[in-house]
Chain A
């Protein structure tokens, strides 16, 4: 069965500092990885997916199959990045997502 692990429940950084939210997965098939974000009082929304290889709001994530990781990175954190971030693994049967436990990012001024 697939599994997604986000080892940090809380990550606190200062504005302008680099940030890396860790995500590791286990899955025997070909993975499709996503990062979802939930800002305060807003619904969960897609931030980026590995197949699109794009940078959203300055965030990037690279799929490393050797290390089974999909860490989310941003070189200079902003206060508006403060939110709950979820890493998710998609399986083709039913497009059902397996989520990690989430990491709360707090960016301090």
Chain B
């Protein structure tokens, strides 16, 4: 019973490519998030998505865009990948805008 799942687990790609990472939660939660963890293990919030309202961390380049086909999914699209995008990306979800966040296992993205 995986609560928050991400695919793929690993993603290796070339600079300039466009890629997507998928996230699904089966907890019935209303809010989903994307975080980026860099090589120094710093975790940074990228997006919060609740009831079709998207809140974006101002430091996130507009090459990154979350897309939610339904409440259980929040996919991350990245255009024109750069070397600095290499990181582990974590999806999370919470019941609402104040609840505990449950994290996915992470997707390790490597841009060559």
Interface contact A97-B106, CB-CB below 8 Å = no
Contact assessment for B98 and A95 in the assembled complex, using a CB-CB cutoff below 8 Å:
yes
Q: Which residues of chain A have C-beta atoms less than 8 A from B97's C-beta?
A: 92, 94-95
B35: chain A residues within 8 A (beta carbon): 97, 99
- Name the distance in Å between B38's Cβ and chain A's nearest Cβ: 10
Stretch in A17-25, A41-49, A61-69 touching the partner? A41-49
Count, A-B residue pairs, CB within 8 A: 56
- B43 and A99: CB pair below 8 A? yes
Residue of B nearest to A41 (CB): B105
Interface of A is mostly: strand
Q: A92-B98, A95-B94, A96-B55 are in contact. Are A45 and B45 (CB under 8 A)?
A: no
Closest-by-CB residue of A relative to B49 is A94
CB contact between A99 and one of B31, B44, B99, B104 (< 8 Å): that residue: B44
**How far apart are the CA atoms of A27 and B21 in the complex, in Å?**
32
A96 touches B43 (CB 8 A): no
The interface size of chain A toward B, counting residues with CB under 8 Å, comes to: 18
For the complex of A and B, the 3 pairs showing the least CB-CB separation, nearest first, are A94-B48, A94-B55, A99-B43
Q: List 28 A-B contacts (CB under 8 A).
A: A43-B103, A43-B104, A43-B105, A44-B43, A44-B90, A45-B102, A46-B100, A46-B101, A84-B41, A90-B98, A94-B48, A94-B50, A94-B55, A94-B97, A95-B33, A95-B50, A95-B94, A95-B96, A96-B45, A96-B48, A97-B45, A97-B101, A98-B44, A99-B44, A99-B45, A101-B40, A102-B41, A102-B42
Count residues of chain B with CB under 8 A from any CB of chain A: 27
**Contact A96/B57 with A84-B41, A86-B43, A102-B41 known, Cβ cut-off 8 Å:** yes
Residues of chain B with a CB closer than 8 A to A99's CB: 35, 42-45
Please name all residues of chain B whose beta carbon is closer than 8 Å to the beta carbon of A84 when the two chains form the complex: 41
